Amino acid sequence: MDEKFVSRQNLNFLLFEVFETDKLSHHEYFSEFNKDTLDMVLRTSYIMAERMMRPYLREMDKNPPVYKDGEVHVNPAVKEFIRKCGEIGFIAAPFPAEDGGQQLPRTIVNACNYMFSAANYSLSVYPGLTSGAANLILNFASKELKDYYLPKMFSGEWQGTMALTEPDAGSSLSDVKTKAIRTEEGFFKIKGQKIFISAGTHDAVDNVIHLMLARIEGAPAGVKGISLFVVPKLRGDGRGGLEPNDLFCGGIEHKLGYRGSPITQLHIGENGECRGWLVGEENLGLTYMFRMMNEERINVGIGATGIASAAYYDSLKYATERKQGRLPGNKNPESPQCGIIEHTDIKRMLLFQRAVTEGSLSLALQVSYYLDQMNICGTEEKERYDLLTEFLTPIVKSYPSEKGILSTSAGVQILGGYGLCEDFNLELYYRDARIHPIHEGTTGIQGQDILGRKATMKKGAALKLFIREITLCIDEAKNYPELSSYADKLSDALDLFIKTSESLFILASQGKTEEFLSDATLYLEMAGTIAIAWQWLLQGITAVKGLEKNDELFFINFYSAKIHTMKYFFRYELPAVETLAKILTDGGHLTTGVSADIFID
- The number of residues that bind a copy of itself (CB under 8 A) is 107
Which residue from 275, 354, 384, 397 is in contact with a copy of itself, where contact means CB under 8 A?
Answer: 354
Total count of residues recorded for the chain: 601
Q: If binding is defined by CB under 8 A, does position 42 make contact with a copy of itself? A: no
Query: Residue 175 interacts with a copy of itself (CB under 8 A)?
Result: yes
Task: Say if residue 479 is exposed, middle or buried (CB neighbours under 10 Å; 0-12, 13-18, 19+).
Answer: exposed
Within 450-469, which residues bind a copy of itself (CB under 8 A)?
Answer: 452
- The 3-class secondary structure across 507-568, one letter per residue, is HHHCCCHHHHHCCHHHHHHHHHHHHHHHHHHHHHHHHHHHHHHCCCHHHHHHHHHHHHHHHH
- Decide: 375 and 30 in contact? Cβ < 8 Å: yes
Closest approach, Cβ 438 to a copy of itself, in A, equals 6
Q: Segment near a copy of itself (CB under 8 A), from 43-51, 136-144, 218-226, 388-396?
A: 218-226
222 binding a copy of itself? (CB under 8 A) = yes
Query: Could you tell me the smallest distance in angstroms from the CB atom of residue 188 to a copy of itself?
Result: 21
Report in angstroms how near the CB of residue 446 gets to a copy of itself at its nearest.
Answer: 11
User: Out of 35, 47, 172, 548, which residue is the one contacting a copy of itself (CB under 8 A)?
Assistant: 172
Interface pattern 193-212 for a copy of itself (x via CB under 8 A): --xx----------------
Please pick, from the candidates 55, 151, 170, 244, the single residue that binds a copy of itself as defined by CB under 8 A.
170
Integer Cα distance of 8 and 15 in angstroms: 10
Residue 585 class from Cβ within 10 Å (0-12 exposed, 13-18 middle, 19+ buried)?
A: middle
**Number of other residues whose CB lies within 10 A of the CB of residue 183:** 10
Q: Is 359 in the site for a copy of itself (CB under 8 A)?
A: no
Question: Is the Cα torsion angle 41, 46, 51, 56 positive or negative in sign?
Answer: positive
**Comparison of 232 and 285: residue with beta carbon closer to a copy of itself:** 285
Query: Residues 259 to 298: which contact a copy of itself by CB under 8 A?
Result: 263
User: What is the closest distance, in whole angstroms, from the C-beta atom of residue 340 to a copy of itself in the complex?
Assistant: 8
Catalytic residue among 50, 358, 440, 573: 440
Quick one: 26 or 453, whose CB is closer to a copy of itself?
453
324 binds a copy of itself (CB under 8 A): yes
Q: Please, which of residues 9-28 interact with a copy of itself by CB under 8 A?
A: 9-10
Strand stretches in 127-216, DSSP E: 158-163, 179-182, 188-198, 207-216
What count of other Cβ atoms lies within 10 Å of the Cβ of residue 482? 13
| Minimum CB distance to a copy of itself smaller for 103 or for 360 | 360
- Asked whether the beta carbons of 558 and 358 are under 8 A apart, the reply is no
d(Cα 214, Cα 276) in Å, to the nearest integer?
A: 10
Question: To the nearest whole angstrom, how small is the minimum distance from the Cβ of residue 486 to a copy of itself?
Answer: 11
d(CA 305, CA 436): 10
Q: Is 499 in the site for a copy of itself (CB under 8 A)?
A: no
Strands 188-198 and 179-182 come out as antiparallel
Q: Which of 184, 238, 459, 599 is close enough to bind a copy of itself by CB under 8 A?
A: 599
Query: What is the per-residue binding string for a copy of itself in 421-450, x denoting contact by CB under 8 A?
Result: xxx---x--xx--xx-xxx--xxx--x---
Closest C-alpha among 308, 528, 302 to residue 409: 308
Q: What is the DSSP letter of 34?
A: -
Give the Cα separation of 40 and 511 in Å (integer): 55
Give yes or no: 440 in active site.
yes
In the list 272, 325, 381, 468, the residue contacting a copy of itself (rule: CB under 8 A) is 325
The yes or no reply on residue 66 touching a copy of itself (CB under 8 A) is no
With respect to a copy of itself, which residue has the nearer C-beta, 146 or 326? 326
Instruction: Out of 228, 412, 490, 530, point to the residue binding a copy of itself (CB under 8 A).
Output: 412
Task: Annotate each residue in 237-256 with x if it binds a copy of itself (CB under 8 A) or - if it does not, as one string.
Answer: ----------------xxxx
Taking CB under 8 A as the rule, does residue 482 contact a copy of itself? no
Write out the binding residues for a copy of itself, residues 102-161 only, by CB under 8 A. Answer: none
Task: Indicate left, alpha or beta for 220 from its phi (over 0: left) and psi (-120 to 50: alpha).
Answer: beta
Question: How far is the C-alpha of 176 from the C-alpha of 563, rounded, in Å?
Answer: 49
Task: Choose among 164, 422, 199, 190: nearest CA to 286.
Answer: 164
**Residues labelled catalytic:** 440
